[in-house]
Amino acid sequence: MSMDQIERFRLSDQYQTLKSSVHRHLIAQIEDRKLDIYTWPADKVERFVAEQVKRYVLEQRLPVNQRESEALIADSRNELLGFGPIQSLVDDDTVNDIVVNGPHNVFIERGGKLYSAPVRFNDDNHVIRVIQRILAPLGRRVDESTPMVDARLPDGSRVNAIIPPIALDGPCLSIRKFKKVPLTAEDLLKSGSITQPELDYLKRKVETRTNLIVVGGTGSGKTTFLNLLSSWIPSGERIVTVEDAAELRLRHNHVVRLETRPPNLEGQRAISARDLVRNALRMRPDRIIVGEVRSDEVLDMLQAMNTGHDGSMTTLHANNVRDAMHRIELLAGFAGYTGGEKTLRGQIAAAIQLVVHVSRLSSGQRRVMSISELRGLEGSELVMHNVFRYEPESGIVVPQEAA
Among candidate residues 10, 136, 138, the one with its CA nearest the CA of residue 71? 10
pTM: 0.78
Tell me the pLDDT of the chain averaged across its residues.
88
User: Residue 174 in contact with residue 159, Cβ under 8 Å?
Assistant: yes
Instruction: Please give, one letter per residue, the 3-state secondary structure of 238-302.
Output: CEEEEECCCCCCCCCCCEEEEECECCCCCCCCCECHHHHHHHHCCCCCCEEEECCCCCCHHHHHH
60: containing domain: 1-80
| Same domain, yes or no: 128 and 248 | no
Backbone φ and ψ of 161, nearest 5°: -130, 140
Residue where a domain terminates, one of 163, 179, 195: 179
| Same domain, yes or no: 280 and 159 | no
Please name the residue ranges forming H helices in 137-233. 185-191, 196-207, 222-230
| Same domain, yes or no: 88 and 219 | no
| Same domain, yes or no: 73 and 133 | no
Among candidate residues 257, 329, 322, the one with its CA nearest the CA of residue 290? 257
User: Which residues lie closer than 8 Å to 39 by C-beta, 6 or more apart?
Assistant: none
| Same domain, yes or no: 159 and 208 | no
131 pLDDT more than 50: yes
| Same domain, yes or no: 260 and 385 | yes
User: Residue 383 in contact with residue 210, Cβ under 8 Å?
Assistant: no
Handedness of CA 123, 32, 37, 54 (dihedral sign): negative
Beta strands in 284-365 (DSSP E): 287-290, 313-317, 354-360
Rounded distance between C-alpha atoms, residue 61 and residue 55, angstroms: 10
User: Residue 254 in contact with residue 236, Cβ under 8 Å?
Assistant: yes
Residue where a domain terminates, one of 179, 214, 234: 179
Domain count, the chain: 3
> 143-170 pLDDT, tens per residue?
888 899 888 787 778 899 999 999 998 9
> 300-329 pLDDT, tens per residue?
999 899 888 999 999 999 999 999 999 999
| Same domain, yes or no: 264 and 143 | no
Query: Can you give the CATH number for the domain in which 347 is found?
Result: 3.40.50.300
Query: Can you give the CATH number for the domain in which 172 is found?
Result: 3.30.450.370
> 192-210 pLDDT, tens per residue?
899 999 999 999 999 999 9
